[in-house]
Structure 1
Amino acid sequence: MTSQPLFDRLIDTGLFALQLFAELALLFVLISFLVGALQEWLPADKVRHYLSARHGHGYLIGALIGAATPFCSCSTVPLTLGLLKSGAGFGPTMTLLFASPLVNPIIIALFWITFGIELTILYTAMGLGMAIGVSWLMDRSGFERYLKNDVIGRKVQTASVSLSSLQQPAANTQCCSTAQNPPLTVRLDASGIGVGQPSVALPETFAPRARRLLMEAVNQFRSFLPHVVIGVLIGSFAHGFVPDEWLIQYAGEGSFWAIPLAAIVGVPLYVRGSTMIPIAMTLTAKGMGIGAVIALVIGGAGASLPEMVMLKRMFRWPILLAFLFSVFSIAVTTGVLAEAFF
């Protein structure tokens, strides 16, 4: 990287930025659209039940959903936002946020092929186990209060009532059919008080509903656009101008600071886990210790500066700092165990 001419490096960085922005924009809108469709198909009380922090299975379900979704660190942001808006528990949602970029079928398959089954089991167990443990601790410590309510605010609930129940006495309701008095939709605020005037609820066909969900997804992306642009610029600069040769020098095998340094360096490098593993294999061949390699993979895949900029739109600083420290802890702990036993 260091021998590449400056102009060529600028061109490479610019192309990477355009590709990254297009990819994030497409994924953000698509995931937001799918989550919006899921919210309409799956009632909010079901989401709260399955992903509730009050029940242990909520954390397990969050970890399993994360393990089944092959998203990069930035792609988990719209999914996290949608689940929180649906009323999912803070702890289980954070479990998904931790687990999705670290443990998914693509990464596990590549890890198995590259490093073998034993190291893959250690990586998977540590990724899922510590994601659940850290999220549980954050939830028990009350970090949910650091969510930005203007972004995470719950959707306005709807309730259907009959016109006869609003205008007729209870004794005479049998003479007033629903055919004569169609259901009304009343918007309720968080306290259950009616908001605005009731309106007749008309069935929404597929095409208008799809257009509405798409516009909601696009508008949601627009609200994140400044954060996405800043994140893309940071990630592109790190991609084009952060050299990797000195990492071998300071994080080579036998260095005391190899594992924590690799974990720290991994965060600015916006690289997918599936891309990180071939890089890690090359670094191992150059003399980098296996523990530092594992820490680099977890640090690079588990968090990134572009992701942190996007999460700042949803979270306040205490959650962001706790998230970074947690990814660092997972990376260092797993790296130390890998170095000790492999």
Structure 2
Amino acid sequence: MLNYITTFFIELWHLTLEMAPYLMLGFLFAGMLHVWFPQHKVNRFMGKHNLRSVFNASLIGVPLPLCSCGVIPAGISFYKNGASKGSAISFMTSTPQTGVDSILVTWSMLGLPLALIRPIIAMITGVFGGWWVNKGEKQKIISKPLDNENTQHIKGNKIIAMLRYAFIDFMGDIVKWLALGLLLAALIAVIVPDNFFSQHMTNPAYEYLFVILASIPLYVCATASVPIAAVLILKGISPGAALVFLMAGPATNAATITVIAQSLGKITFIKYLITIVVGAIASGLIIDYLLPSSWFVIEKSMNTHEHGILPEWLIWSSAIILTLLILYHLMKILGNLFSKESFKTREVKAGEKLDNPNVYVQGMDCKHCKMNIEKHLKQIEGVEAAEANEKTGYVSIQGEQVDIDKVQQQVKDLGYKLAGIIES
């Protein structure tokens, strides 16, 4: 038992060493995108019912380091603010599959070919899915211009704002999934025998079926999926099947499935799911049967897989800083859980209108959730201001005779749940 525990922590540290420099660089890129390419600029490229808007949506989505919890409200927000349904689906297909941080980590752990192939496939599947959805839809009539009133201007020093978003806001949004991905990868490395898949799944179809069935309901962000895929390859799974996991795992999960079906319609959801599954399997088959297998060989010992381009001091310092940041955010999450504010709520009454209501919204997990809730509630007639707390679910709304039915519908359309009115 002690040997298993020791091996687990050794594997966990090796994975951290492998990922840390590229992940830290990816977080920096995330901060740069946030400060110099904010969401209101993105909206301008997605509003028309044509292939160009779909292409733009996918092109914008590929480098953005958003996980599913941030992609869902962002994509629905684009749609509600005038983007075509196809553009929204294109964005929600390509964005969670990849991102600057996951591309760099993929290069580090799985090699340059997969790091290049992954965003290309995300781009192709996004464009195809968006085009297919738009093909069956009438052109959307935009009743109001894209919302630029609530644009958030970066105040103060932009370098500080970039670092704060990269290592506080964005990292805080994905840290629990990142930690879970690392722990799961280390656990698989310890408990799954070497060459398990090559010995027990001799038919490649079984590998693909196994990965798809595991990926669709599972939540795993694009970056956290990389160490898991690396360990699976070392255990004997084919590189193509690993790619299926890399594409389908981040792009599909129970929350995404529910929100897309609810907000964009069941037909749109079916097209979305088919695009992801077929695109991932087709890409996996291409890798396994058409491309040179030597492109996808990874080292048996991950801690020696450094590509010879990074100095030892940078690898170790990045790993130490990353570990400290992860521990900081996890401690913060635990602290919030133990000190979570409790408040008394009551059920929403149909047709009621309230002055300055406070409501409890379930499902907010990140800063993007908070921003989207606030932005869309402000668009309701009579609402002067809205302030959400993603840690507690507490949303304070300012305005006279606010229609709670409209608030509830707006929250529902974004994929959250209005769980009650908070009583003072």
Residues 329 and 79 (structure 1 numbering): CA distance in 2 closer, same or farther, change over 3 Å? Answer: same
Q: Hey, what's the Cα distance between the residues in 1 that align with 2:199 and 2:267?
A: 31
Q: Hey, what's the Cα distance between the residues in 1 that align with 2:252 and 2:58?
A: 16
Kindly provide the amino acid, as one letter, of the partner of residue 293 in structure 1.
A
Q: Hey, what's the Cα distance between the residues in 2 that align with 1:67 and 1:248?
A: 31
Aligned mate of 2:216, from 242, 267, 271: 267
Kindly provide the amino acid, as one letter, of the partner of residue 227 in structure 2.
P
Deviation, 1:66, is 0.8
SS at match of 1:70: coil
Residues 278 and 259 (structure 1 numbering): CA distance in 2 closer, same or farther, change over 3 Å? Answer: same
For 1:276, the equivalent position in structure 2 comes to: 225
For 1:212, the equivalent position in structure 2 comes to: none
TM-score scaled by structure 1?
0.54
Stretches of structure 2 lacking an aligned partner (at least 5 in a row)? 1-33, 153-183, 294-424
Post-superposition CA distance 1:292-336 (Å, at most 9, x none) = 111112111111112212334312222222211211112101111
Kindly provide the amino acid, as one letter, of the partner of residue 331 in structure 1.
A
Q: Does 1:91 align with 2:91?
A: no
For 2:61, the equivalent position in structure 1 comes to: 66
Q: Does 1:131 align with 2:131?
A: no
1:136-155 pair list within 5 angstroms: 136-142=131-137
Post-superposition CA distance 1:131-154 (Å, at most 9, x none) = 102210121122889xxxxxxx96
Deviation, 1:123, is 2.0
SS at match of 1:261: helix
For 1:326, the equivalent position in structure 2 comes to: 275
For 1:301, the equivalent position in structure 2 comes to: 250
Q: Is the 8 A contact 1:251 1:261 kept in 2?
A: no
Please tell me whether Structure 1 or Structure 2 has the larger radius of gyration of its CA atoms.
1
CA RMSD of superposed structures (Å): 3.8
Aligned mate of 2:75, from 80, 90, 93: 80
Q: Hey, what's the Cα distance between the residues in 2 that align with 1:91 and 1:317?
A: 14
SS at match of 2:62: helix
For 1:106, the equivalent position in structure 2 comes to: 101
Q: Is the 8 A contact 1:253 1:289 kept in 2?
A: no
Q: Hey, what's the Cα distance between the residues in 2 that align with 1:143 and 1:281?
A: 43
Deviation, 1:339, is 0.9
Q: Is the 8 A contact 1:258 1:292 kept in 2?
A: yes
Q: Is the 8 A contact 2:107 2:115 kept in 1?
A: yes
Q: Hey, what's the Cα distance between the residues in 1 that align with 2:71 and 2:199?
A: 32
Kindly provide the amino acid, as one letter, of the partner of residue 299 in structure 1.
A
Residues 108 and 94 (structure 1 numbering): CA distance in 2 closer, same or farther, change over 3 Å? Answer: same
Q: Is the 8 A contact 1:254 1:289 kept in 2?
A: no
Deviation, 1:111, is 1.2
1:115-130 pair list within 5 angstroms: 115-130=110-125
Residues 249 and 118 (structure 1 numbering): CA distance in 2 closer, same or farther, change over 3 Å? Answer: closer
More helix by share: 1
SS at match of 1:256: helix
Q: Hey, what's the Cα distance between the residues in 1 that align with 2:108 and 2:202?
A: 22
Kindly provide the amino acid, as one letter, of the partner of residue 269 in structure 1.
L
Residues 274 and 67 (structure 1 numbering): CA distance in 2 closer, same or farther, change over 3 Å? Answer: same
For 2:52, the equivalent position in structure 1 comes to: 57
Q: Hey, what's the Cα distance between the residues in 1 that align with 2:71 and 2:233?
A: 29
Deviation, 1:155, is 6.6
Q: Is the 8 A contact 2:260 2:268 kept in 1?
A: no
TM-score scaled by structure 2?
0.45
Q: Is the 8 A contact 2:82 2:145 kept in 1?
A: no
Q: Is the 8 A contact 1:53 1:91 kept in 2?
A: no
For 1:256, the equivalent position in structure 2 comes to: 205
Q: Is the 8 A contact 2:125 2:276 kept in 1?
A: no
Kindly provide the amino acid, as one letter, of the partner of residue 90 in structure 1.
K
Q: Is the 8 A contact 1:66 1:100 kept in 2?
A: yes
Residues 251 and 333 (structure 1 numbering): CA distance in 2 closer, same or farther, change over 3 Å? Answer: farther
Aligned length: 218
SS at match of 1:50: coil
